Amino acid sequence: MSDRQLPRGASRNAGFAITADRRLRLRRTVVILLVGDGMLRAWLRRGERIEALGRMRADPAAREGSDALSALLARLANPRRRRSVTLVLRLAANAGLICQDVLPGRAAGELQPILANRIDMLTPWSAEDAVFTCWNPQRRGDGRLAVTVAVARKAAVEAALASLRGFDLVPDIVDFVVDAPTSPPRFDLLRPPPESRVPAVLRGTAVAALGLLALAAVRGGFELADLEDRIAARQLRLEEMRRELAGRLEAVRQQGPAVSATGLLLELRRERTSPLRLLDAMTRLLPDQVWLESLQLRGRSVAIGGIAEDTAVLARLFERSPDFTDLRFTAPAVRVEPGGSETRPMVRFALTVEAGGALLLAPAAAPTTTPERAQ
């Protein structure tokens, strides 16, 4: 069957929806050059607006036809003027046809060689005599792959490209008439069939894995730096305690044997708060309507930050407790909007208290009761 036996409507919609190739990227202005019957016709598209630019002989040596079109082709030969223009080389409808083929699902990664072996079954031409592309492969319910294939005679495509090269033009897209000569392009015969997404997915997975490893390394570095900072702070605190103890011991030596080292250590313990006793006391003291956000302990000083319904009630709780003294608010209370199921207004507070009594590592000895006081 020769190309002359092809019906003129063979390239039109053949009973299925012919959608555009999603890989096409058109610029704002599209110039369509239709080559056929030795003539070159041109249209200008800006969105839905179409303007006829005239026609001329497709032979560059003849230079017969519209002067405006000749001037336009000369401008398009300048690469700088092509930055905002998509140049489409369009063949006549009888130069190609569009068909649909159904392939096994595993064919997604080998569309080019598989379709090359099936061109002679889908079209009147062999793979050596045709230029083809496919686009928008769709996975069907049965797992097979439906693809839209556009095929054109290689001789017609090469002749049209040679005509354009005579005008020093290289098209961005090559197609043939599907609905109308001025319709926007739906495919590009020079664009190969889409590659399988599996390699891209594997590359993306590898990149994501490397990114996660890098993030883990950065996070590990931050955690290591934070641990080093905490160790350095503990060492600094230990050094301060050593200097304080050395100063106390020097004072003992100057006072004489009346004060023992054991007594000095006991005095130092009375100035330190037990963290476990502090947590137990805070658990028993604070009601359920108080949420702690921070708790810092330095010697006997306790810095507390959190959220409560009423800071006045919170202050009375600390003032009535025998384990805490010298309550001070270190920042003004800030209103917090209720969230979730909470409807009561809340405030954020920050305060400091001095721990004492049973919270110290070595509580102060109870005063002895003399017989006179007992009476």
- Whole-angstrom distance, CA of residue 366 vs CA of residue 345: 44
The pLDDT value recorded for residue 132 is 93
Q: What is the pLDDT of residue 84?
A: 84
How far is 138 from 144, CA to CA, in rounded Å? 8
Nearest CA to 186 among 16, 17, 21? 21
pLDDT tens, per residue, the chain with 375 residues: 333 333 333 444 456 778 889 889 888 889 999 998 888 899 999 888 999 888 888 776 665 666 778 888 888 887 777 778 899 999 998 899 998 888 888 888 888 888 888 888 888 888 889 999 998 888 888 889 888 999 999 999 999 999 888 888 889 999 999 888 999 999 999 998 887 554 444 456 666 777 777 777 777 777 788 888 889 888 888 888 788 778 777 776 776 555 555 555 556 656 677 888 888 888 888 888 888 889 888 888 999 999 998 888 889 999 999 889 999 999 888 888 766 555 677 899 999 999 888 888 765 554 444 444 444
pLDDT at residue number 10: 40
The single residue listed with the structure tokens 């003004």 is 332
For residue 13, the model assigns a pLDDT of 45
**What six digits make up the tokens of 96?**
């190609």
DSSP strand pairing (85-91 vs 29-36):
parallel
Structure tokens belonging to residue 246 = 């050395």
Task: Let me know how many helices (H) and strands (E) the chain has, helices first.
Answer: 8, 12
Q: Are the C-beta atoms of 323 and 304 separated by less than 8 Å?
A: no
Task: Assess contact for 141 and 91: CB atoms under 8 A.
Answer: no
Give, in words, the CATH class of 272-359.
Answer: alpha beta
* pLDDT for position 3: 37
**Sign of the four-CA dihedral 198, 199, 205, 209:** positive
- pLDDT for 89 equals 94
**Closest by alpha carbon to 95, among 177, 190, 174, 191?**
177
pTM (2 decimals)?
A: 0.49
pLDDT of residue 156: 92
CA atoms within 13 A of residue 145's CA, in its CB half-sphere: 20
Residues 116, 122, 126, 128, CA torsion sign: negative
- Class of the 3-195 domain? alpha beta
The rounded distance, in Å, linking the Cα atoms of 281 and 277 is 6
Degrees, nearest 5: CA angle 38-29-154: 35
Residue 80 pairs in a beta bridge with: none
Q: Report the candidate in 278, 254, 281, 249 with the shortest Cα–Cα distance to residue 265.
A: 249
* 3-state DSSP percent of the chain in helix, strand and coil, to 5: 40, 30, 30
Identify the H or E element spanning 171: none
